[in-house]
Amino acid sequence: MKGSLPLSQRAQAYPASGIRKMAALAAQYQDTINLTLGEPDFDTPVYIREAAKRALDEGYTHYSPNAGMPGLRDAVARRCQAFWPGYTRDHVIITAGALEGMTLTFMALLDPGDEVLVPDPCFSNYYGQAILVGARAVPVPTYEENGFRIQASDIEKAITPKTRGIVLNSPANPTGAVLSREDILSIAQVVQRHDLWVFSDEPYDALVFDGVEHFSMAQVPEVRDRVILLNSFSKTYAMTGWRVGYAVMSDPAYIAKLAQLQEGVVSCIPTFVQVAAAEAFRQKRSVDAMVREYARRRDILVDGLNRIPGFRCGRTAGGFYAFPNIKAFGKSSQAFAEELLEHARVVVIPGSVLGAMGEGYLRIVFASSEENLREALRRMDRYVRSAYPQLTAAF
């Protein structure tokens, strides 16, 4: 047909990003404050950048093994030994971020027609990566009254004969939910009962607040052989543009197969990037400083939102997202997000683009400067008080 592209079914089915849609709308306006981008506003720490420079000067510009350089795989294994002392380099593959790790493991473990369960709301690429391998992502609802922590009972209800696995994301994008040890153990029973794979997506594992502890499904011995740990240097070390992450499995045979698949996707991760990533693990002062700053900014944003009529926002346990309830405005989250853009010049993400259970909520990133957060709050407060006097009067 004239004017149409002859695309594959997968390409046609891959979902468009609702986040990119808001970015396109925002481009029509001047003087906006953008609180949509899910990445640290910090630069990569100097000691990591210096390691990359040295690596380039030392000639780390050639191919590495498909699974990654031994030194970085050793470093990842040592980090993951906090979950299980048995992890070695043979259990690790270095990937182009956590998302490529998920794609490789979907390719290795899911067949066309298989189903993989995902939290609702969630990082929307989960749906797309399932489509790429001919599988289907099935949403499992999460609820504000549970702190948006996915529950074993809801997972059980979603399982069908086609279900092969579940994606867990803790701390979660977009809600900031952190699964407790009790949550994980309950879900592990379901996993064991139905022999499911667990794709445990953990790029925010270091970004937890108020004494909350990250607990991984890989710490549960009974299901460890069904767990794929997926992680990234992007959030913890402010390395989003470096595109480096890893996948970890308890059976080295799976890692060998992932490395074979990696050869046909990206071959390997750039070697100087791998050298720098290994250096990242050598100290955590920068990480600790970022976590303290995120906690402070979280409090600024959450406290400020709760002072605006119509907003109700819980205190995020991890990550760098607030997920306020805006149902009092009687508008769809898309419509209300567009209102804030047009009238307050503040760009946020409507929760509906992240899943049906996200309707009535907004995703707001607090990985932004204090100045931006305070100005955004001032603009939103001023607009809401002028446009919704009935809410203001009842506040």
Q: Over 70: is that where the pLDDT of 353 sits?
A: yes
The token duo for 260 is: 């074979």
Return the CATH architecture of domain 48-280: 3-Layer(aba) Sandwich (3.40)
Tens digit of each residue's pLDDT (9 = 90 or more) over 214-273: 999 999 999 999 999 999 999 999 999 999 999 999 999 999 999 999 999 999 999 999
Tens digit of each residue's pLDDT (9 = 90 or more) over 354-372: 999 999 999 999 999 999 9
| pLDDT for the residue 51 | 98
Q: Is the peptide bond before 141 cis (omega within 30 degrees of 0)?
A: no
Average of pLDDT values for 28-40? 92
| pLDDT for the residue 1 | 43
Average of pLDDT values for 200-207? 97
CB contact set of 257 (below 8 Å; sequence gap of 6+): 108
pLDDT classification of 3: cutoffs 50, 70, 90 = low
| pLDDT for the residue 380 | 98
Contact (CB, 8 A) for 84 and 217 = no
| pLDDT for the residue 162 | 98
| pLDDT for the residue 17 | 76
Tens digit of each residue's pLDDT (9 = 90 or more) over 87-101: 999 999 999 999 999
Q: Over 80: is that where the pLDDT of 18 sits?
A: no
DSSP state of 219: G
Helix segments in the chain, DSSP class H: 9-13, 18-26, 46-57, 70-80, 97-109, 125-132, 152-158, 181-194, 252-263, 271-280, 285-305, 333-339, 370-387, 389-394
Amino acid at 60: Y
Calculate the alpha carbon distances from 257 to 93, 249, 253, 365 in Å.
10, 11, 6, 37
| pLDDT for the residue 16 | 80
Share of the chain above pLDDT 90, in %: 90
CATH 3.40.640.10 positions along the chain are 48-280
Contact (CB, 8 A) for 348 and 363 = yes
Which tops the pLDDT comparison, 367 or 22? 367
- Which candidate, 118, 65, 61, 30, places its Cα nearest to that of 273? 61
Calculate the alpha carbon distances from 370 to 78, 301, 373 in Å.
35, 9, 5
Average of pLDDT values for 70-81? 98
- Cα separation, 157 vs 153, in Å, equals 6
- Cα separation, 104 vs 124, in Å, equals 17
Q: Which backbone phi and psi does 175 adopt, to 5 degrees?
A: -95, -20
CATH 3.90.1150.10 positions along the chain are 9-44+285-384
Instruction: Please work out, in degrees rounded to the nearest 5, the angle formed at the alpha carbon of residue 50 by the alpha carbons of 48 and 56.
Output: 110
| pLDDT for the residue 343 | 96
- Cα separation, 116 vs 227, in Å, equals 14
Query: Quick one: 9-44+285-384 is in which CATH superfamily?
Result: Aspartate Aminotransferase, domain 1 (3.90.1150.10)
What's the pTM value of the predicted model, to 2 decimals? 0.94
Amino acid at 72: L
Average of pLDDT values for 286-311? 97
- Cα separation, 289 vs 283, in Å, equals 12
3-state secondary structure of 1: coil
Mean pLDDT score of the chain: 96
The token duo for 1 is: 């047909």
Contact (CB, 8 A) for 197 and 166 = yes
